[in-house]
Amino acid sequence: MKGGRIRGQGTYGCVFQPKLKCKKKRGQDDVLNRSNSMVGKITLPQDAENELAIATYLSTIPDAKLYTLAPEPESCEPQARSRQVEPDLEVCQLLADTPLENTIQIEMPWGGYPLSRMNLHPSSFDFMKFTEQILTIGSFLLLHKICHFDLYGQNFLFDKNTVPKLIDFGFAFRADEITSEALDSRWRQLATDHDTETPEVSLMLGVQQDIPPSFTIHELQQNKPAVQRLAVLCGVVPAEWSADLQKWSEQSLSFQNGDWTTCCKLYWPGFDAWSIGAMLLQIFEIQVSIPEFKVNPKIIPILKGLCEASPVKRMDALEALNALVDGSHAFVSAGSDGAAWISEKQRLRSLHS
């Protein structure tokens, strides 16, 4: 195998199976394993560094492979484009602006297909089971103080048993290690229609571009699909949603002071929670349009909780999982670390009420 067909692409690069040809190291034909069960992902060096750091941490956590697909510790530099035989290089968006030689290729197991390839008809797709699976992955991250910071449907891969695992940790950070320098490599361009980006991060991005929070909030209310879905599917009043976000922006000292590091240290559990909620709303919208789908009464409060405008009020993944399963999952059962987390979260929230 001399190269591979493109399997997907996202925020940080493109995935090929088998991997692209690598530059040789002394005594080696190729740095990475050529197994057809593995894929190669080309990405920018900084993103590869971030992803490999999280992968190293995940490798120390028992059962991490139940919930995540992280890259192998080895990486390589792809050979020049002229030496590749891969026909799909032309459609890799990363390479429109970046020479292949300036990327890094990392290796990871082939984990299955993204959400966009799933049959979402209720006859073959159990929305409530899926919700529990995704919240379980989010809870695993919380319990190990990891913020993925780029959760959306294409970053979950489903195996032959439709069990999802989370991929693409190039934006992820460990909550107890976040610094201003780490944030600098993770900021995006402001886009108020970016559905799975948490609204408080949109406000931070706006302030950095000298855009008043009130203007960004108005644009979020008008443009963010999750806000529109909250209104149509869950009965949330968009003006009230905006008012909650405005109130938080005026009362948060770290936000008012432009102290983004402290802001992220305080509110990181809600970042992935919003992303999960927005993704679930997308799928819920599809489900309710199908006559065979029956709405479980538990789901509306959970969707509203995950997508609260204020990060102080927002449910995190552990709280949402607990609400869904009534404490019956091991992550949130009595005496668990998750139960202690939820209790402390509720105590802190009561101080702001």
pLDDT of residue 25: 67
- pLDDT, tens digit, for every residue of 42-83? 999 988 999 999 999 999 999 999 999 999 888 899 988 888
- Residues 104 and 118 both lie in one domain: no
Percent of the chain residues topping a pLDDT of 70: 93
- Residues 213 and 306 both lie in one domain: yes
pLDDT of residue 11: 55
- Residues 60 and 165 both lie in one domain: no
- Residues 30 and 57 both lie in one domain: yes
pLDDT of residue 93: 87
- Residues 93 and 139 both lie in one domain: no
pLDDT of residue 4: 42
Q: At which of 75, 93, 110 does a domain end?
A: 110
**Cα 94 to Cα 1, 10, 40, 102, 171, distances in angstroms:** 23, 9, 14, 11, 16
Q: What is the CATH number of the domain that holds 218?
A: 1.10.510.10
Question: Residue 224 sits in which domain range?
Answer: 114-350
- pLDDT, tens digit, for every residue of 121-134? 999 999 999 999 99
Name the pTM for this structure: 0.91
pLDDT of residue 350: 83
Q: Report the number of distinct structural domains present in the chain.
A: 2
- pLDDT, tens digit, for every residue of 97-123? 889 989 999 998 888 888 999 999 999
Q: At which of 46, 76, 110 does a domain end?
A: 110
- pLDDT, tens digit, for every residue of 135-156? 999 999 999 999 999 999 999 9
Q: 346 pLDDT exceeds 80?
A: yes
Q: At which of 110, 127, 161 does a domain end?
A: 110
- Residues 123 and 103 both lie in one domain: no
